[in-house]
């Protein structure tokens, strides 16, 4: 079926949200799951610390809700958070039944605590390889289903829109162009966009493709200014920005500045377990040198932690650090923040509907409002399970299959080596501009500089396209460009500081004007909106999608 011209349901992405949705959809029709690289290459696969879930009954669920609301800094859409914490236990129990093996002591599931959680409720697998286990178990379960097929190393490059409804997608297999597949409904589960930044914990596939394609098709985006920066990515020149999980601080790790001081007591009563945005900004401030551009080292310190076998508890992290001659039990570990998780995304209701008919979204690519201005640690794997399943339950009620006829992008000239280098250098320039101007500490003049860089980048990409060039990398660059524009414009509009969005020029939270979600309309306007209650549904949203088939 992978080469079929029509399927009932097309799922873009094979992370936790896409795989969970596919399993549900298979009860209602044929499903094609498309993934840009191999099945295992996703943010899900790299998730370390665990999955937050309240499995101890009503009080635990209520506390999980409170923690989620508190982390989101006044902007969590409460009905979405209620759905997450209430449906989470059932989704996780089901996952265990399907074969996911979480760490246990005897029969008892082990639970750890992470930043801003009021009690230990984070399940983990193989110590610090939770995402890989979730991805593995879901993929095995989905592969056994005869109605689910996979197209690996295949990129969705366009959404086919007719009469305001998404009726299919354009696909690119490797460097070969291109084919069109019709579908009754399309689910975007393509994950985040960490690659919009020069420093990120996200793998190379996380270029925000689905978010950009949805916006191009006329879907609204929401809360795009809220990018979570993980406080503790490994920081050694030449080494990757490998994530040093929050669970290290959950097990007692301290942060120290270059004078050896444990500085978090100056920033928050919860110290190292304060919300992520607080810890990340504290590290940024402690790392600032005397002159602009000069940075000072900040370290994680676990040398005092007793009674835990750190190599056994964190086998993946320990193996990574050993490559650089470092040991958690013996050494100070250099860290700095990196772009990690997009709270915003394609605006959806609680059933994954976007503002365009036939188009659904779930997981990190979507914005239900569940994370508000700042995600609670380990809530996103749970989000993928819960909202992936819900979107899939809504999709069968969609429209009948239409024939997605129309032109498919013709084969274009390949890039020369020097053009490839030129493109790569332009992408790096945009990523650095995002880090500098839409990073942890923002202000109006910088955001405007960032927007100017984004306009230059867009003009450069338009010029390449006029040369009739096409490649996976060019499509990714276009996605990065669109996502960067959305983040910068939303950050410019929010003249306050809240959660992960900090403005040096507006350092206070301003509930009077800004306790609302930003919505990026299809015409590019950014507006602030209340999402009042659980009856909120986009089922009858006016579609702004262009009438013509679109393909990028
Ligand atoms: C290093 C790291 C550690 C993390 N640790 C945790 C943790 O401990 N707990 C937690 O809850 N969260 C954690 N997170 C966040 C969490 O992993 C993600 O938010 C979540 O897995 C996202 O799932 P998803 O299904 O939405 O997307 P992803 O898992 O990112 O999957 C996206 C899929 O879309 C595909 N795709 C993208 N573009 C295209 C395209 N154009 N065409 C076709 N396919 C495409 C990709 O190939 C991939 O298969 C971590 C993230 C990282 C990066």
pLDDT band at 175 (very low <50, low <70, confident <90, very high): low
Which residue out of 53, 153, 202, 381 has the highest number of ligand 1 atoms within 8 Å of its CB and is therefore the one to mutate? 381
Is residue 344 within 8 Å of 223, Cβ to Cβ?
A: yes
Q: Whose CA is closest to atom 33 on ligand 1?
A: 13
pLDDT band at 372 (very low <50, low <70, confident <90, very high): very high
Integer CA distances (angstroms), 524 to 157, 196, 482, 543, in order: 21, 19, 11, 15
Least confidently predicted of 165-179, 316-330, 367-381: 165-179
- C-alpha 548 to ligand 1 mean position (Å): 31
Atom 14 of ligand 1 has which residue's CA nearest to it? 47
pLDDT bin (cut points 50, 70, 90) of residue 537 is low
Which atom of ligand 1 lies closest to the CA of 48?
A: 8
Beta carbon of 189 within 6 Å of any ligand 1 atom: yes
- Using CA atoms, how far apart are residues 436 and 452, in angstroms rounded to an integer? 13
How far is residue 46 CA from its own chain's centroid?
Answer: 12
More confident residue, 5 or 99: 99
Count of CB atoms situated within 10 Å of the CB of 66: 13
Residue 382 Cα to ligand 1 midpoint, Å, equals: 12
Is residue 404 very low, low, confident or very high in pLDDT (cuts 50, 70, 90)?
A: confident
3-state helix, strand, coil split of the chain in percent (to 5) is: 35, 20, 45
Q: What is the pLDDT of residue 548?
A: 38
Helix (H, G, I), strand (E, B) or coil at 132: helix
Q: What is the pLDDT of residue 536?
A: 56
* Mean of pLDDT values over 62-87: 96
Q: 274 or 455, which is more confident?
A: 455
Q: Which two tokens stand for residue 547?
A: 């009438």
What local confidence, expressed as pLDDT, does residue 211 receive? 98
Greatest C-alpha distance within the chain: 66
Atom of ligand 1 nearest to the CA of 44: 21
Nearest to 514 by CA among 70, 69, 66, 74: 74
- What confidence tens digit (pLDDT) does each residue in 459-495 have? 999 999 888 778 899 999 999 999 999 999 999 999 9
More confident residue, 133 or 251: 133
Nearest to 513 by CA among 527, 502, 524: 527
Burial code (b: 16+ CB inside 10 Å, e: under 16) for 143-180 equals eeeebbbbbbebbbbbbbbbebbbbbbbbbbeeebbbb
User: What CA–CA distance (Å, rounded) separates 273 from 101?
Assistant: 27
Q: Are 203 and 43 in contact (CB under 8 A)?
A: yes
Instruction: Indicate which residues carry an active-site annotation.
Output: 276
Of ligand 1's listed atoms, the one at least distance from the Cα of 194 is 53
Using CA atoms, how far apart are residues 531 and 518, in angstroms rounded to an integer?
11
Tokens of 527: 């507006």
Pairing status of strand 122-123 against strand 51-52: antiparallel
Place of tokens 């490994």: 234
> Is pLDDT of 544 > 60?
no
115 lines ligand 1 (CB under 6 A): no
Is residue 191 within 6 Å of ligand 1 at its C-beta?
yes
Q: What's the pLDDT at 406?
A: 64
Using the structure block, give the residue that is written with the tokens 């250098």: 425
**Nearest CA-CA partner of 364 in 382, 351, 350:** 382
- For the chain, the average pLDDT equals 92
Q: Probe ligand 1: pick from 40, 42, 195, 226, max atoms within 8 Å of CB?
A: 42
Whether the pLDDT of residue 412 is over 80: the answer is: no
What is the model's pLDDT at position 407? 62
The answer, yes or no, to whether residue 438 has pLDDT greater than 80, is yes
Distance 383 CA to ligand 1 centre (A): 11
Specify whether the CB–CB gap between 289 and 298 falls below 8 A. Answer: no
Rg of the chain in Å (alpha carbons): 22
Helices (H) and strands (E) in the chain, counts: 15, 21
pTM value is: 0.94
**Which stretch of DSSP H or E encloses residue 270?**
none
């Amino acid at each position: 079926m992978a080469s079929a011209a029509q399927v009932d349901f097309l799922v873009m992405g094979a992370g936790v949200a896409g795989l969970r949705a596919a399993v549900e959809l298979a009860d209602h029709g044929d499903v094609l799951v498309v993934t840009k690289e191999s099945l295992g290459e996703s943010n899900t696969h790299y998730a370390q610390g665990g999955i937050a879930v309240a499995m101890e009954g009503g009080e635990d669920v209520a506390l999980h809700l409170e923690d989620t609301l508190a982390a989101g800094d006044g902007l969590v859409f409460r009905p979405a958070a209620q759905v997450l914490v209430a449906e989470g236990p059932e989704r996780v129990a089901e996952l265990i039944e399907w074969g996911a093996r979480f760490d246990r002591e005897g029969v008892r599931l082990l639970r750890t605590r992470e930043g801003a959680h009021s009690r230990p409720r984070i399940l983990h697998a193989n110590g610090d390889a939770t995402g890989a286990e979730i991805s593995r178990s879901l993929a095995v379960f989905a592969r056994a289903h005869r109605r689910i097929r996979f197209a690996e190393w295949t990129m969705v490059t366009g959404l086919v829109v007719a009469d305001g409804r998404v009726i299919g997608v354009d696909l690119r297999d490797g460097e070969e162009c291109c084919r069109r597949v019709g579908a009754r409904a399309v689910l975007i589960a393509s994950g985040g966009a960490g690659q919009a930044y020069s420093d990120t914990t996200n793998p190379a596939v996380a270029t925000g493709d689905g978010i950009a394609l949805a916006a191009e098709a006329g879907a609204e985006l929401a809360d795009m200014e809220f990018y979570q920066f993980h406080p503790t990515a490994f920081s050694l020149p030449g080494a990757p920005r490998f994530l040093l999980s929050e669970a290290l601080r959950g097990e007692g790790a301290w942060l120290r500045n270059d004078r050896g001081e444990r500085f978090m007591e100056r920033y928050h009563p919860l110290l190292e377990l304060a919300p992520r945005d607080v810890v990340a900004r504290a590290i940024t401030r402690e790392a600032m040198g005397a002159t602009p551009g000069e940075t000072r080292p900040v370290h994680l310190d676990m040398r005092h932690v007793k009674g835990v076998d750190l190599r056994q508890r964190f086998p993946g992290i320990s193996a990574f650090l050993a490559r650089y001659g470092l040991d958690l039990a013996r050494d100070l570990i250099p860290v700095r923040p990196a772009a990690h998780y997009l709270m915003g995304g394609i605006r959806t209701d609680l059933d994954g509907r976007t503002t365009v008919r036939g188009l659904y979204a779930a997981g990190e690519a979507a914005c239900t409002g569940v994370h508000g201005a700042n995600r609670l640690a380990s809530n996103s794997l749970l989000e993928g399970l819960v909202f992936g399943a819900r979107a899939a339950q809504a999709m069968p009620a969609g429209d009948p299959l239409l024939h997605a006829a129309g032109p498919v992008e013709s084969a274009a000239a390949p890039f020369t080596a020097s053009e490839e280098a030129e493109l790569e250098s332009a992408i790096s320039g945009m990523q650095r501009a995002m880090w500098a101007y839409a990073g942890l500490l923002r202000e109006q003049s910088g955001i405007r500089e960032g927007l100017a860089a984004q306009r230059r980048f867009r003009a450069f990409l338009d010029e390449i396209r006029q040369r009739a060039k096409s490649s996976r990398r060019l499509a990714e660059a276009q996605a990065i460009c669109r996502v960067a524009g959305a983040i910068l414009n939303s950050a410019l509009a929010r003249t306050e500081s809240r959660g992960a969005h900090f403005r040096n020029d507006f350092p206070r939270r301003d509930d009077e004007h800004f306790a609302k979600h930003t919505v990026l309309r299809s015409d590019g306007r950014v507006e602030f909106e209340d999402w009042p209650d659980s009856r909120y549904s986009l089922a009858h949203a006016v579609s702004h999608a262009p009438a013509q088939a679109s393909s990028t």
